[in-house]
Amino acid sequence: MSPRTLRLPSWLPVDAYILALFGTVVVAVLLPASGAAADVAGGASTGAVALLFFLYGSRLSTADALDGVRHWRLHLTVLGATFVLFPLLGLASEGLVPYVLTPQLQSGFLFLCLVPSTIQSSIAFTSLARGNVPAAICAGSFSSIAGIVITPLLAALLLGGTGGGFSADSLVRIVLQLLVPFLAGQLLRRWTTGFLGRHRKILGHVDRGSILLVVYTAFSEGMVAGTGHQVTPLRLVALLAAEAVLLTVMLLITWYGAKRLGFGRADRIAIQFAGSKKSLASGLPMAGVLFGAHASLAVLPLMLFHQMQLMVCAVIAKHRSREPEETETVGVPVPAAV
């Protein structure tokens, strides 16, 4: 999950990894895994996600995380945007049913609003815009850790009666699949740090390959269950429009709201990029647990939003990089180099 794995686009491009994601969807639609093959794919997907979070726990410096706690106002602001403002906007999307979104797509849209913030792109964009990079690292990390518990609880509250599929067993599975490997990575970090540093490039492919496997498994299950043909081109366009509005509102709130709260430019940049985005790495495994065979419709809004946020935030970050820096900042100073 290193920020170096993200290639920032020059002008609204489609990231190669996003192309791989949608290529994986095409493969799942044409060649879905079923029967024994589905069992193998599901088991491999579960193991890959556990490995993903083990590596994440191994990479996150405990000292850096504890040091970042002192900037608590910024982190609470990001958490509020991620787990309060986003869900409220997701609930408001119920007014789009059935004229704009189908009930299934609206559930996926709401689930998108419940997942934690992304880490790597928040760091990369904050760095490009000359913002508070240490704060972005800690804010994204705290959001991801908190989301392991908060996201399924919000799903239980907001999606429990609409096909969210939440149960106590779901929470246990999420904890075992995400939180336990993360904590194991933290505990073993002393012995794994050197190995991870020497094989960073290879492990970056492991990160992305794990997500591709999760996407293939989710869409395969959807095709076998017959849920893969419920999205018409018109509904897809409507979904994209709704997500564009969602992203615009959150970008404006995080930028101008942070200003009203008294944050300086560097902190506002970190808040905007960490507080306006959603994580595929965390959201996809959770969707598989919570939605089961309906996970393909649940993760489609998240996949589309992920690409949209990369494109829009790349433009914003480059614009911010050309702005003059403030002579006075609030919170942790921006490092001279990343």
CATH number of 11-321: 1.20.1530.20
The angle at the Cα of 332, spanning 330 to 333, to the nearest 5 degrees, equals 85
CA atoms of 39 and 77, how far apart (whole Å): 41
CA atoms of 152 and 54, how far apart (whole Å): 20
Token pair, residue 127, equals: 């760095």
Q: Is 184 exposed, middle or buried (0-12, 13-18, 19+ CB in 10 A)?
A: middle
Alpha carbons within 13 angstroms on the beta-carbon side of residue 256 total: 6
Q: Evaluate whether 202 touches 5 at the Cβ level (below 8 Å).
A: no
Contacts of 162 (CB under 8 A, 6+ apart): 103, 107
Cα 275 to the chain's mean position, in Å?
A: 11
Domain-wise residue ranges, the chain: 11-321
In this predicted structure, what is the pLDDT of residue 68?
A: 59
Q: Evaluate whether 267 touches 275 at the Cβ level (below 8 Å).
A: no
Mean pLDDT in runs of 10 for the chain (338 residues)? 45 63 82 82 80 78 64 91 96 92 90 90 87 85 85 84 58 78 85 80 75 78 65 88 97 96 94 93 79 75 88 88 62 37
Torsion sign across C-alpha atoms 108, 113, 119, 121: positive
In this predicted structure, what is the pLDDT of residue 5?
A: 43
CA atoms of 239 and 106, how far apart (whole Å): 9
In this predicted structure, what is the pLDDT of residue 213?
A: 82
